[in-house]
Amino acid sequence: MIIRKSSRCFGPTLAIIACCCFTIYSWANSQGQWNVLREHGVRGDGNSLNTNALQQAIDKVSESGGGTLIFPAGTYLTGTLWLKNNVTLHLEPGAVLLGSPEIMDYPEIQVPFPTMNNPFYRHTLLYAEGVNNIAITGQGVIDGQGDARGFKRRSTKAPERYMNRPSVIRFVNCGGVLLRDVGVKDAGFWVTHFLACDDVVIDGVNVDSRTANYNNDGFDIDCCSNVRVSNCHINSQDDAICLKSTGQRVCRNVIISNCVLSSNCSGIRFGCEAFGGFEDIVISNITLNNVGASAIQLQVFDGGVLDRVILSGITMRDVNQGIFINVGHEMYPIGIAKEDLPLKHPETIGKVRNIVLRDILAEGVGRCRRQDVGGGENMSENKLACLITGMPESHLENITLDNIRMRCVGKGTAEDAASDLSGVKTGFNAGSMGMTPAYGFYCRHVDNLRLRDIDISYENDDLRPGLFLEHCATVDVFNADGKVHPSVTAFMRMRNVSGAFVHGCRLKDMHVFLSVEGPDTSDISLAGNDFRKVPSPVIAAPDVPGDTVTLAHSEWIPVNGG
């Protein structure tokens, strides 16, 4: 068994990744070509099982120094295939690489890289391990037949619910990987999984796996480095693009751009598996439509560090929940005890820091059309705000939200506004904490939080403030504005916040802009704001220490005259 040692990249530079992409593309087009029908006895009739013939062809091409196996139009039924060094599978238009519907055609594979998923994730259609320079290209389709009877989820309990369901593509410990222009559909489990791979390019790939089976993540990029994903369209049952770190290796130097994403779960997700953590990730020019959970979900639950991440140029429409950033310390419930994992679950709590979300336009936040496995549909509505939540033991650090326009469904009640989440433990999904006391953003346990050019509103009356910050320190709010119901005390609430500077806000009609609360509130300054349409810019609860708020060029009116 060959296990390729990980290459090292010094610095997340576009030049290095572009060079890798050029190298892969040049190699894939410079070797010999073999037609699978003419030279290897393969049949494209959709009925003949071609596993042995195709594997012999792959082995022969690799042993001859590498090249391209061309699949003309036709349907090629096969079980598990192992890709080898310097081999490209090229699917011409009309070619379908069809996964067998029988689990017996997918032998169990024991992955050498220790991860939390090793005990149950053992079957795949296209597999590679410890090889270099492999590619899948062309205008054809890889169909996993994930809706086959033999791949149905046999239990709702973990880990049984994950077993005996093959993914479509799984590459482990590989270098120089290219997926270009192909379609991938209907997985039994994850659609694609890249584990501990270096120098990966995914370009122009179309994934359609919304209703075939459960856990159909589009792209799982796991413990990988130097990855570029671009120009892809994904419609998936589970997370569309998910960065993971299921083993003790950092997922780093990843660029994702120019993609259209739709999902029954999250659109873009980091974690929650984060043993090794994430570093130096840039995501830009993304359209998110009809997302059944969080459009953007960044989280650490396994002791790793999430550091230096930028997301920009993002549009959202009809997403169940907008943004969810959090840290926790519980292992995802995969049904395996910590002591039985191939790797030790860390005792330390992870960190989330240096995150920038910029230039986001969102409509219909809190509404989506869910599509169930098997094809059923239903409309779903959700009143949760965007959640930016750390823990008392691990505050989020250096979080910037810049130029965000968000229109939510609304419908929050006065009871929702009274929700107290100050002591509620964060969870894997946005709804695990309960209802949020704000409709736009709820931020808790964050140090150095910047809210700049924020404009939020709702479609239906909502009796909650737009922004709620608590247990935050060193907060900068610039040009924040939004809609607030006349019965709501204030547009923004701060509770036990220290060191906040609010400036440059030009506000629409509202009675009160800011309410400050809590005995640990201190050093709240407002300056350079346009409060001409705000009769009472700031009110303070009786438990706020005196001289806490500094308000320039306006009047501070305490709550209840206190």
- Backbone dihedral angles phi then psi of residue 284, each to the nearest 5 degrees: -150, 155
Q: Is residue 63 exposed (0-12), middle (13-18) or buried (19+ Cβ within 10 Å)?
A: exposed
Task: Note whether 58 and 81 are within 8 A (CB).
Answer: yes
3-state SS assignment for residue 22? helix
Q: What pLDDT score does 553 carry?
A: 55
Contacts of 156 by beta carbon, 8 Å cutoff, 6+ apart: none
Token pair for 528: 């350079």
**Rounded to whole angstroms, how far apart are CA atoms 294 and 296?**
5
Q: For the chain, what's the residue count?
A: 562
Q: How far is CA 348 from CA 188, 274, 305, 330, in A?
A: 34, 12, 11, 11
Q: How far is CA 54 from CA 37, 63, 134, 362, in A?
A: 10, 14, 15, 47
DSSP, residue by residue, 309-370:
EEEEEEEEEEEEEEEEEEE-------S--GGGSSSPPPSS--EEEEEEEEEEEEEEETEEEE
CA 543 to chain centre: 40
**Rounded to whole angstroms, how far apart are CA atoms 463 and 255?**
40
Q: How far is CA 357 from CA 162, 184, 332, in A?
A: 33, 30, 26
**Rounded to whole angstroms, how far apart are CA atoms 129 and 344?**
23
Q: How far is CA 151 from CA 184, 234, 334, 370, in A?
A: 17, 22, 19, 22
**Rounded to whole angstroms, how far apart are CA atoms 8 and 319?**
37
Task: Note whether 146 and 188 are within 8 A (CB).
Answer: yes
Q: What pLDDT score does 9 carry?
A: 39
Q: Is residue 414 exposed (0-12), middle (13-18) or buried (19+ Cβ within 10 Å)?
A: exposed
Q: Is residue 156 exposed (0-12), middle (13-18) or buried (19+ Cβ within 10 Å)?
A: exposed
3-state SS assignment for residue 103? helix
Q: Is residue 71 exposed (0-12), middle (13-18) or buried (19+ Cβ within 10 Å)?
A: buried
Q: What pLDDT score does 332 carry?
A: 64
User: Comparing C-alpha atoms, which of 456, 428, 441 is closest to residue 269?
Assistant: 428
Q: What pLDDT score does 77 carry?
A: 98
User: Comparing C-alpha atoms, which of 83, 280, 234 is closest to residue 173?
Assistant: 83
Q: What is the pLDDT along the chain (562 residues), one digit of tens a residue?
A: 333 333 333 344 444 444 444 344 334 444 699 999 987 789 999 999 999 999 999 999 999 999 999 999 999 999 999 999 999 999 999 999 999 999 999 999 988 887 777 666 889 999 999 999 999 999 999 999 999 888 887 766 666 666 788 999 999 999 999 999 999 999 999 999 999 999 999 999 999 998 888 889 999 999 999 999 999 999 999 999 999 999 899 999 999 999 999 999 999 999 888 889 999 999 999 999 999 999 999 999 888 999 999 999 999 999 999 999 999 887 665 666 666 666 776 778 999 999 999 999 999 999 998 888 877 888 889 999 999 999 999 999 999 999 999 999 999 999 999 999 988 888 888 988 899 999 999 999 999 999 999 999 999 999 999 999 999 999 999 999 999 999 999 999 999 999 999 999 988 788 999 999 999 999 999 999 998 889 989 999 999 998 898 877 544 444 443 3
Number of Cβ within 10 Å of residue 208's Cβ equals 20
Task: Note whether 341 and 116 are within 8 A (CB).
Answer: yes
CA 157 to chain centre: 24
Which residues make beta-bridge pairs with 296? 268, 323
Q: What pLDDT score does 377 carry?
A: 83
Q: What pLDDT score does 378 carry?
A: 84
Q: What pLDDT score does 276 carry?
A: 93
User: Comparing C-alpha atoms, which of 174, 274, 287, 271 is closest to residue 235?
Assistant: 287
Which residues make beta-bridge pairs with 377? 371
Q: Strand 74-78 vs strand 45-49: parallel, antiparallel, or unpaired?
A: parallel
**Rounded to whole angstroms, how far apart are CA atoms 273 and 367?**
27
- Check residue 78 and give left, alpha or beta (phi > 0: left; psi -120 to 50: alpha): beta
Q: What pLDDT score does 132 carry?
A: 99
> Taking the model in full, what pTM does it have?
0.91
- Backbone dihedral angles phi then psi of residue 315, each to the nearest 5 degrees: -115, 145
Q: How far is CA 538 from CA 175, 268, 353, 535, 558, in A?
A: 58, 37, 30, 9, 8
User: Comparing C-alpha atoms, which of 115, 125, 158 is closest to residue 249?
Assistant: 115
